[in-house]
Structure 1
Amino acid sequence: MKLDIDSIKKGDKNTLDLNFALDLNTIDYYGDIIDIISPVDVNGKLYVIDDRLYMNLGIKTHMQVNCSRCLESFTYPFKSSINAEFVHENLSTDQTDESDEDIIYYQESTIDLDELIKENIIMNIPMKLVCDKSCQGLCSNCGIKLKDKSCDCSHTQSIDEDIDPRLAKLKELLEQD
């Protein structure tokens, strides 16, 4: 969805309701492809206050992702918000502080909300997605999913067997202290 900022600023209304669904199939998340399984619901408002344009949006969707611990696929309910001010690039050095993260600079009179929403989704996806808070992941020795079954690997091997023989002397030094 593209917004014509000049027509919004020149209009007689000082608010504009934004309620639409954005169809995204996938998102490239740093090399991983994330499937978006439901349309992205976008709800919010655009405000014009003293020739300045402000936007508040809420974003909701569902994604098909893999658990960071057990690698099992699950549906993640994504929710985020965008609160921003739109400033023309010509005014960026004169009136605004460049360190403000909530300011979006534009060059032309139109803004592509689809790209803005995609960027917001990418920036707000958690780094480690977990299917369940109690997920124990995979066994480091046999690779079995500890969520479904239990293994005896951790009980049969002692800590000394897991230590790299090249680093065994360091363990002895630590025991002396």
Structure 2
Amino acid sequence: MILNVKNFLESPDKTWEIKGFLEENESDYVLDGIDIEFPIEYRGVLYNLNPEIKLDLYMKYKYNTSCDRCLKKLQKDVESFVCCYFIKDLGNLEDYDDAMTEYFELKADGIDLSDIIISQVISDTNNKHLCSENCKGLCPKCGKDLNEGPCDCEHEREIDPRFEGLLNLFNEEV
């Protein structure tokens, strides 16, 4: 989704509000393992800072995943924000010495919002998903969901043989 900024750059306006929906992944990024519920809602403000453009972009989207402990299906709601700058020549990037800021090349045809939105979605996706903070997970022996109650397995206390000598450390009288 290309946002044409030519008229904005030629106008005396210093800000431009945008909003809309990204209906599908139009970027080159691959979303393997991320089950996004399209459309992704976005709204933002462009600032003409001459010579660069600043974009403050808010996104709201959902994605489907499963709990990493009990495998229950989940849908996560995410609200995200990204701030980035567009400059005409990335060769002059050393003039912009801020490691915390994202810089993109301002292309003649405009700003590719799809690239920015999808890259932010990828960055925001958690590595660990839980249905609740106190999810008990599955029994390692029988596979029962321990959130629904205990299983009938006998759970012996497994002790690493290297630490077995410490079991009775405090039981001995000196």
Q: TM-score, normalised by structure 2?
A: 0.80
Q: Which residue is equivalent to 2:172?
A: none
**Cα distance per residue 1:99-132 (max 9 Å; x no partner):** 5232322163333110111010010111111122
Say if 2:22 and 2:38, in contact at 8 Å, map to a contact too: no
Structure 2 match to 1:73: 73
Pair 1:108-2:107 in alignment: yes
Q: Root-mean-square deviation (CA), in Å?
A: 2.4
Q: Which runs of 5+ in 2 are unaligned?
A: 170-174
1:68 CA displacement: 1.2
Alpha-carbon distance, 1:149 to partner: 3.0
1:20-169 to 2 correspondences below 5 Å: 20-24=20-24, 28=30, 31-32=32-33, 34-88=34-88, 89-93=90-94, 95-97=95-97, 100-106=99-105, 108-109=107-108, 110-153=110-153, 156-159=154-157, 162-163=158-159, 168=161
Looking at secondary structure, tell me which structure has more strand per residue: 1
Q: Is the 8 A contact 1:9 1:51 kept in 2?
A: no
Structure (1/2) with the larger helix percentage = 1
**Distance across 1 between alignment mates of 2:148 and 2:164:** 38
Paired residue total: 164
Contact persistence 1:68–1:130 (CA under 8 A): yes
Higher relative contact order (CA 8 A, sep 6+): 2
Tell me the amino acid that sits aligned with residue 92 of structure 1. L
Q: Deviations over 1:40-86 (max 9, x none)?
A: 00011111123321111110011111111111111110111111122
How far does residue 140 in structure 1 lie from its aligned partner after superposition? 2.0
1:171 corresponds in structure 2 to 163
Structure 1 segments unaligned to the other structure (5+ residues): none
Give the CA deviation at 1:142.
1.6
Measured in 1, the distance between the counterparts of 2:148 and 2:30 equals 30
Whole-angstrom distance in 2 between the partners of 1:38 and 1:103: 25
| Partner secondary structure for residue 60 of structure 1 | strand
TM-score, scaled to structure 1: 0.79
In the aligned structure 2, how far is the partner of 1:139 from the partner of 1:48? 57
Identity among equivalent pairs (%): 25
Whether contact under 8 Å (1:66, 1:129) holds in the other structure is yes
**Distance (whole Å) between structure 2 residues aligned to residue 119 and residue 103 of structure 1:** 11
